[in-house]
Structure 1
Amino acid sequence: MGRDRAEVSKHNGRHFAVSISVANINSLWSSLVIEELIRCGAGYFCVSPGSRSAPLAMAVANNRRATSLIHFDERGAAFHALGHARATRKPAVLICTSGTAVANYLPAVVEASCDLIPLILLTADRPPELHNVGANQTIEQTGIFGSFVRWSFNLPCPDRAIPAEMPLTTVDYAVNQATHIPAGPVHLNCVFREPLEPVETGEDFRGYLSAIAGWQDSVEPHTGYRRATSVVEPSSLAEIHRIIYRAKSGVIILGHTPDSRDSEAALTLANTLRWPVFADITSGARLGHAGSNVVPFFNLALTSDHIKQALRPEVVLHIGGRVVSKRLMQWLEECPLRDYLHIIDHPCRIDPIHRVTCRIETAIEPFCRAVSDCVKENSHRDYLSLWSRTSQAIERILQQEDADSEQPVEAGVARVLSSEINPDSAFFLASSMPIRDMDIFAVPDGPRVPVAANRGASGIDGTVASAAGYAVGSGRPVTLLIGDLALLHDLNSLAMLRDCTQPVTVVVMHNDGGGIFDHLPISGFGESFEKYFITPHGFRFEHAALQFELDHRHAKSMSELRDAYRRAATLRKSAVIEVTIDRAENMRFHERLVHEISAVLKP
Structure 2
Amino acid sequence: MYSSKENVNILTSLLLKGGITKAVVCPGSRNSPIVHNLCACPGIACYPVTDERSAAFVALGMTLAENEPVAVCVTSGSALLNTAPAVAEACYQNRPLIILSADRPAQWIDQQDGQTIHQQGALAPHVRKSVTLPEPHDDEERWYCNRLVNEALDACMLEGGGPVHINVPVSEPLSGYGTLQLPDERRILLHRSVADAARVSDMAADFFCGEKPMIVLGQMIPEVVGESLEDIEALRRVAVVLQEKLADDDLRPAQPIDEVLESIGDDTSYRPDHLIYIGGTVVSKRLRHFLRKCACRMSVTVNERGDCCDTFMHATDILQGAPEEVLALLAREAKGVERKAFTDRWERAFDRAAAVRRNFRPDYSQLAAVKAFHEKMQAEDIDGELFYANSSAVRLGNIFSNQYLYVNRGVNGIEGTLSTAVGYALARQDEEDVYCVIGDLSFFYDQNALWNEQLPPNLSILLLNNGGGGIFRQLPGLERSPYRDSAIAAGHTASAEGICQAYGLVYLSARNGQELSRALDSFFHAEEGPVLLEVFTRPEADARVLKDYYQSF
Q: TM-score, normalised by structure 1?
A: 0.55
Give the distance between the partners of 2:233 and 2:213, measured in 1 at CA: 10
Q: Distance in 2 between matches of 1:576 and 1:503?
A: 11
Superposition pairs for residues 224-263 of structure 1, below 5 Å?
Answer: 232-262=195-225
Tell me whether 1:376 sits opposite 2:319 in the alignment.
Answer: no
Please give the per-residue CA displacement for 1:178-202, whole angstroms capped at 9, x wherever unaligned: xxx9xxxxxxxxxxxxxxxxxxxxx
Tell me: CA distance 1:274–1:563, structure 2 relative to 1, closer, same or farther (3 Å): farther
> Which of 498, 510, 515 does residue 465 from structure 2 map onto?
510
Spell out, residue by residue over 1:543-581, the C-alpha distance to the aligned partner (whole angstroms, 9 max, x if none): 221121111111223453344233223224211111122
Q: Is it true that 1:454 corresponds to 2:408 in the alignment?
A: yes
User: Does residue 484 of structure 2 align to residue 529 of structure 1?
Assistant: yes
Name the aligned partner's letter for residue 280 of structure 2.
Answer: G
Q: What RMSD, in angstroms, separates the aligned Cα atoms of the two structures?
A: 2.8
Instruction: Name the residue aligned to 2:451.
Output: 495
Deviation of 1:257 after TM superposition, in Å, equals 0.9
Matches within 5 A, 1:216-231: none
Corresponding residue for residue 32 of structure 2: none
TM-superposed CA distance for 1:305, in Å, is: 4.5
Query: Partners in 1 of 2:208 and 2:222 — Cα distance?
Result: 28
Instruction: Tell me if the contact between 2:194 and 2:200 (Cα under 8 Å) persists in the aligned partners.
Output: no
Q: Provide the secondary structure at the position in 1 that maps to 2:451.
A: helix
Q: Secondary structure at the match of 2:501?
A: helix
Which amino acid in 1 is paired with 2:272?
P
Asked if structure 2 preserves the Cα contact closer than 8 Å seen for 1:301 and 1:307, the reply is: no
Distance 2:309 2:517 in 1: 38
Q: Give 1:467's aligned residue.
A: 421
Deviation readout 1:307-343 (Å, 9 max, x if unpaired): 6433111111212111111110111001121111222
**SS of equivalent residue, structure 1 residue 434:** helix
Q: How many Å separate the matches in 2 of 1:378 and 1:418?
A: 37
Q: Secondary structure at the match of 1:359?
A: strand
Asked whether the equivalents of residues 263 and 283 of structure 1 are also in contact (C-alpha less than 8 Å), the reply is: no
Amino acid of the structure 2 residue aligned with 1:442: F
Check if 1:438 corresponds to 2:394.
Answer: no
C-alpha contact 1:266 1:368 (8 A) present in aligned 2 = no
**CA 1:259–1:492 in structure 2 vs 1: closer, same or farther (change >3 Å)?**
closer
* Letter of the 1:492 counterpart: N
- After TM superposition, give the deviation of residue 506 of structure 1 in Å: 1.0
Spell out the pairing of 1:124-143 with structure 2 (5 A cutoff): none
Equivalents in 2 of 1:247, 1:267: separation in Å?
A: 23
What is the distance in 2 between the residues matched to 1:280 and 1:240?
25
Match of 2:502 in 1: 547
Q: Is the 8 A contact 1:485 1:513 kept in 2?
A: yes
Instruction: Quote how far apart the aligned CAs of 1:466 are.
Output: 1.4
Q: 1:335 to 1:514 in 2, by over 3 A?
A: same
Map 1:42-441 onto structure 2 (within 5 A).
232-262=195-225, 264-265=227-228, 268-272=231-235, 273-285=237-249, 288-290=251-253, 296-306=255-265, 308-402=267-361, 405=362, 407-421=363-377, 424-439=383-398, 441=399
Counterpart Cα distance in 1 of 2:394 and 2:295: 29
- Residue 538 of structure 1, CA deviation: 0.9
- In 1: Cα distance, 2:229 partner to 2:299 partner: 16
Q: Residue 527 of structure 1: SS of its match in structure 2?
A: coil
Q: Find the aligned partners of 2:531 and 2:442 in 1 and give their Cα distance.
A: 17
Give 3-state SS (helix, strand or coil) of 1:530's partner: helix
Give the aligned partner of residue 589 of structure 1.
Answer: 545
1:375 offset after TM fit, Å? 3.0
Other structure's SS at 2:394 match: helix
How far residue 594 of structure 1 moved from its aligned partner, in angstroms, is 2.9
Deviation sequence 1:240-266 (CA, Å, 0-9, x none): 222223112112211111143445526
Report the 3-state secondary structure (helix = DSSP H, G, I; strand = E; otherwise coil) of the residue aligned with 1:424: coil
What secondary structure does 1:499 align onto? coil
Q: Which amino acid aligns with 2:223?
A: S
1:357-394, Cα deviation, whole Å (9 max, x unpaired): 12211122233222222333432343223222222222
TM-fit CA distance, 1:532: 1.7
Counterpart secondary structure, 1:303: helix
Q: Which amino acid aligns with 1:240?
A: M
Deviations 1:483-505 (A, max 9, x none): 11111112222233x73345211
Question: What SS does structure 1 have at the residue aligned with 2:547?
Answer: helix
Quote the residue 2:534 is aligned against: 578
Q: 1:308 to 1:425 in 2, by over 3 A?
A: farther
Higher relative contact order, structure no. (Cα contacts within 8 Å, ≥ 6 residues apart): 1
> In 2, Cα distance between the equivalents of 1:409 and 1:267?
37
User: What 5-or-longer segments of structure 1 have no aligned partner?
Assistant: 1-145, 148-180, 182-229, 598-603
Code of the residue aligned with 2:357 in structure 1: it is: L
Indicate the larger mover: 463-472 or 412-421: 412-421
Conservation of the 8 A alpha-carbon contact between 1:343 and 1:364: yes
Equivalent position amino acid for 2:199 in 1? S
Count of residues in correspondence between the two structures: 358
SS at 1:591 equivalent: helix
Q: Which runs of 5+ in 2 are unaligned?
A: 1-123, 126-158, 160-192
Partners of 1:590 and 1:309 in 2: how far apart? Answer: 26
Output the CA distance in 2 between the equivalents of 1:246 and 1:541: 56
Change (3 A) 1:519 1:560: same
Is contact 1:429–1:482 with CA below 8 Å preserved after alignment?
yes
Q: Which AA in structure 2 matches 1:483?
A: G
Contact 1:427–1:451 (CA under 8 A) maintained in structure 2? yes
Judge conservation of contact 1:315–1:339 (CA < 8 Å) in 2.
yes
2:360 partner amino acid:
E
Pick the structure with greater CA Rg. 2
Residues 511 and 583, structure 1, Cα contact 8 Å, conserved in 2: yes
TM-score normalised by structure 2 residue count: 0.60
- Flag the 1:485–1:425 CA change in 2: closer, same or farther, 3 A: same
Listed one character per residue, the Cα deviations across residues 522-541 of structure 1 (whole Å, up to 9, x for unaligned) are: 42224222222122111112
1:394 to 1:563, Cα distance in 2 relative to 1, 3 A: farther
